[in-house]
Amino acid sequence: MKRRSVIPVMALITAAILLFFFLNILLGSVSIPARSVLNIMLGTGNEDIIWQNIIFKSRIPQALTAIVAGAGLSVSGLIMQTVFRNPLAGPSVLGICSGASLGVAFVVLLSGSIGGMALSRMGMAGELAMTIGAVAGALAVMALIVYVSQRVKGNVTLLIIGVMIGYIANAIIGVLKFFSVEEDIRAFVVWGLGSFARVSGDQMVLFVCTMAVILPFSALLAKTLNLMLLGDAYSRNLGLDIKRARLFTISYSGILIAIVTAYCGPISFLGLAVPHLCRSLFRTNDHRILTPACILVGALFALTCNLIARMPGFEGALPVNSITALVGAPIVISVLFRKRQNDTSE
Amino acid sequence: MNTKEIIRLSSLCTGYKSKVVSNGINASLNSGQLTCLLGPNGAGKSTLLRTLSAFQPPLSGQIEILGKPLQSYSDKELSTLIGVVLTERIDVRNMTVHDLIGLGRSPYTGFWGNLSNHDAQLVDSAMEMVGIQEFKERMIQTLSDGERQKVMIAKALAQETPIIFLDEPTAFLDYPSKVEIMQLLYKLSHESGKTIFMSTHDLELALQISDTIWLLDKEHGLVTGTPEDLTIDQSLQKFFVRKGISFHAESEQFRIENECSRTVSLESDPTLQELVRKALQRNGISIANESEIRIIARLIDGKPHFSVQNSSTLQVHEADSFESMLSLL
């Protein structure tokens, strides 16, 4: 693809995001006519208060959550794939997702057995506790990874350590589950399914605003990431402070993952698939193009998955994780296949 | 030639925590010169280059660049001082040759890394110098190893550093490209006064084109000098002559020696002399003044003509090509 067609394609994706955003608001288990939806959104006319509640308290928050979560995970996936120079790197690989899960597991599973009260009965306070648990867990693992990254030379070593941390976290979760009450285990499993629907009200506003502030910072990393593509020695020779670059990039993507996972649960495949999709769509590895592309395509991807999960018949019961994997895996596979063919034919 | 000492190594010891690779290196590199580092595999050439590029610290000793110790430079300062071309194969997909060479301008570009017109011009002229203009829009993953190597050399040129270190830049190239690259590096060093230091295994090319040779191996340490001085003082012989390799000092050429079990005497046109010698040598036959078998080689109308005489059987055979001559023996 020629450089000059980048902007029209981005505009097209943006238009698609708007369309899918509207579709996300229009479609759902309760059918609301398009005219009424428009009226409600514009604040005109006297529409049913129940419909208004559905739109404002459920569908719009869900769509906004999907947008920022999709964008955040995609950008962090892109950064990880570049930093570790590994096409299979993604949010879940470095164990940061597992760290978040561990944090939530501590909060959810131990509250019942130690506090003597199932967290799932605590309502709002319980939700908040889970969020804090997820952020704390994710940041703890991330701090560990950053610490290790300053001391370990190769990226592959770091990747392996990340995967190992993931295993350890999952093992501890297994132990915690053993000591927990059934009710809490179910709450934990439900969190683990991942959902854009759980975030509501004030928390949604906080989540969306935080992400809206953090995401633009990804643009500042473009030059650093482009240099990192060349590998440690070359990028260092071109004036890049490798240690600092790793610290910044890994922390940044770690924070993105921590926040998204805290609010939405572990969403798989999105962060892995979208960067590949963007690379093959724009035929470039230039992060000045890829970063905004990942934000847009990630948002669109998440909106699409969210829409499919709510298709008539599923009634919102389908976990979004299944959709991301069902849509994401074929994308990754087809991208890899096309890569192979390009290599042999060129 | 207007040269100046740019880099000085004093009692430098390179290697890793657990293992010393080379010890007691004293030498200097001059501007306006092409210096080639020669040595067998595992001699520590790459380690020395990595140490000079500040990718790994020296175990002991000093590296001074322009009178200041290497460690006192920041990564940022070094990026405009030293450009490197490494043996490591860069694994980037979906990046055009132009964009990759453009990354060589990173030390000078702004926050976003956008190329100015001046930068773009330098990228173009770097491509032109290396002769890869036609690859401009090709993706890196579609290039052959040799083409990639040229791209990385262009990157180092675009970086506009007074010093360039290259680790086996000619390794994957075909012979004409090897010569081309060596000549380019020679020209760059002499015309723009750059200090160019490269390791290579292309012994004879290096001896022909470089101003200074550094010989490095485990046994002898580092020996430096012009190719001619190293020939006269027998250093080249000491480093490379083994069983089966001989060094021909006048032509600065290394020759492969076979064990010769037979001898023939030869009378030949001067133009054919060397070719016949080589063909016989390859077949384990050396030339002697007196022998039972005598070969007379003549060049008639541009075609070789051989007559092979056996003095004991008094037989004479004729041949009109090297192949049939060799089959007679």
Buried b (16+ CB within 10 A) or exposed e, B16-27: eeeeebbbebeb
CA–CA distance from A242 to each of A217, A251, A302, B82, B84 (Å)?
19, 14, 33, 17, 16
Which of A220, A238, A288 has its CB closest to that of B103?
A: A238
The residue in chain A having the minimum alpha-carbon distance to the alpha carbon of residue B74 is A239
- Say what the pLDDT of residue A44 is: 75
In A, minimum Cα distance to B55 occurs at A233
d(CA B262, CA A159): 63
| Nearest-neighbour CA in chain B from A296: distance (Å) | 20
- Provide the pLDDT for residue A204: 85
Cβ of A233 within 8 Å of Cβ of B78? The answer is no
Contact B142 A346 (CB under 8 A): yes
Q: Give bridge partners of residue B319 from the DSSP assignment.
A: B306
Q: Are B24 and B216 in contact (CB under 8 A)?
A: no
Chain A residues whose beta carbon lies within 8 Å of the beta carbon of residue B95: 229, 284-286
Q: CA A99, CA A274: separation in Å to the nearest integer? A: 22
Q: Is the ipTM of this complex over 0.85?
A: no
According to CATH, the topology of domain B262-328 is: Double Stranded RNA Binding Domain (3.30.160)
User: How many Å lie between the alpha carbon of A159 and the closest alpha carbon of chain B?
Assistant: 17
Q: Are B91 and A85 inside 8 Å of each other by CB?
A: yes
**Which residues on neighbouring strands pair with residue B20, listed in sequence order?**
B15
- Selecting from B76, B88, B94 the residue whose C-beta is nearest the C-beta of A285 gives B94
Angle at B152 (CA atoms; ends B150, B155), nearest 5 degrees: 115
Amino acid identity, residue A201?
A: G
The domain spanning residue A123 has which CATH number?
A: 1.10.3470.10
Is the Cβ pair B109, A223 closer than 8 Å?
Answer: yes
Chain A residues with beta carbon closer than 8 angstroms to that of B53: 233, 237
pLDDT less than 70: residues of chain B: 1-2
Long-range contacts of A8-14 (CB under 8 A, 24+ apart): A9/A281, A9/A282, A10/A292, A10/A293, A10/A296, A13/A293, A13/A296, A13/A297, A13/A300, A14/A296
Superfamily designation of domain B5-242: P-loop containing nucleotide triphosphate hydrolases (3.40.50.300)
Structure confidence at residue B37 (pLDDT): 94
Which token pair is A125? 């306070």
Can you read off the two tokens belonging to residue A294?
Answer: 């990942």
Question: Along the 346 residues of chain A, how does pLDDT read in single tens digits?
Answer: 455 588 899 999 999 999 999 998 888 777 788 888 888 887 776 778 888 888 888 888 989 999 999 999 999 999 988 988 777 777 777 788 888 888 888 887 777 655 555 555 556 677 778 778 888 888 888 788 878 877 776 677 777 888 888 889 889 988 888 888 787 788 788 888 888 887 777 788 889 999 999 999 999 999 999 999 998 889 999 999 988 998 899 889 888 988 898 888 888 888 888 998 898 888 888 999 999 999 999 999 999 998 888 776 666 567 888 888 888 888 778 877 776 555 543 3
Beta-carbon separation of B53 and A231 below 8 A: no
Q: What is the pTM of this model?
A: 0.83
pLDDT of residue A344: 44
Q: In sequence order, what are the residues at sequence separation of 6 or more whose Cβ sits closer than 8 angstroms to the Cβ of residue B244?
A: B256, B257, B258
Q: Is A286 on the interface with B (CB under 8 A)?
A: yes
| A171: containing domain | 3-345
pLDDT confidence of residue A1 = 43
Q: C-alpha angle A246/A248/A249, rounded to 5°?
A: 65
Range 168-227 of A in CB contact (< 8 A) with B: 220, 222-223, 226-227
What does the pLDDT look like over A84-100, one tens digit per residue?
A: 877 777 777 778 888 88
Confidence at residue A345, expressed as pLDDT on a 0 to 100 scale: 39
3-class DSSP string for chain B: CCCCEEEEEEEEEEEECCEEEEEEEEEEEECCEEEEEECCCCCCHHHHHHHHCCCCCCCEEEEEECCEEHHHCCHHHHHCCEEEECCCCCCCCCCEHHHHHHHCCCCCCCCCCCCCHHHHHHHHHHHHHHCCHHHCCCEHHHCCHHHHHHHHHHHHHHCCCCEEEEECCCCCCCHHHHHHHHHHHHHHHHHHCCEEEEECCCHHHHHHHCCEEEEEECCCEEEEECHHHHHHCCHHHHHHCCCCEEEECCCCEEEECCCCCEEEEEEECHHHHHHHHHHHHHCCEEECCCCCEEEEEEEECCEEEEEEEECCCCCEEEECCHHHHHHHC
For residue A176, give how far its alpha carbon lies from the nearest alpha carbon of chain B (Å): 42
Cβ-defined contact of A223 to B86 (cutoff 8 Å): no
Q: Where are the domains of chain B?
A: 5-242, 262-328
The dihedral through the CA atoms of A122, A125, A129, A130 has a sign that is: positive
Q: How many other CB atoms are there within 10 angstroms of residue A325's CB atom?
A: 18
Give residue-wise pLDDT tens across range B12-67.
Answer: 999 888 888 888 899 999 999 999 999 888 888 999 999 999 999 999 999 999 99
Q: Which of A239, A286, A343 sits opposite B76 (nearest CB)?
A: A239
Asked whether the beta carbons of residue B113 and residue A238 sit closer than 8 angstroms, the reply is: no
Q: Chain A: give the shortest CA distance to residue B129, in Å.
A: 21
User: CA of A237, closest CA in chain B: separation in Å?
Assistant: 5
- For chain A, what is the domain count? 1
Residues of A in contact with B99 (CB under 8 A): 284, 286
User: Cα dist. A331→A1, A274, A323, B31 in Å?
Assistant: 19, 9, 12, 53
Q: A266-316 pLDDT, tens per residue? A: 888 888 889 988 988 888 889 999 999 999 999 999 999 988 887 766 665
The pLDDT of residue A4 is 56
Number of A:B CB contacts under 8 A? 82
Q: Which of B79, B84, B94 sits opposite A279 (nearest CB)?
A: B94
Instruction: Please list every residue in chain B whose beta carbon sits closer than 8 Å to the beta carbon of residue A339.
Output: 93
pLDDT of residue A319: 80
Q: Do A238 and B91 touch (CB under 8 A)?
A: no
Contact between A298 and A245 under an 8 Å Cβ cutoff? The reply is: no
In 3D space, the residue among B200, B227, B199 whose CA is nearest the CA of residue B213 turns out to be B227
Q: What is the dihedral of CA A114, A119, A124, A127, to 10 degrees?
A: 100
Residues of A in contact with B109 (CB under 8 A): 223
Is A233 part of the contact surface with chain B (CB cutoff 8 Å)?
Answer: yes
Q: Name the residue among A252, A263, A270, A320 with its Cα closest to residue A135.
A: A263
Verify whether the Cβ–Cβ distance B95 to A346 is below 8 Å.
Answer: no
Pairwise CB contact (< 8 Å): A342 & B141: yes
Contact between residue A267 and residue A73 where contact means Cβ atoms under 8 Å apart: yes
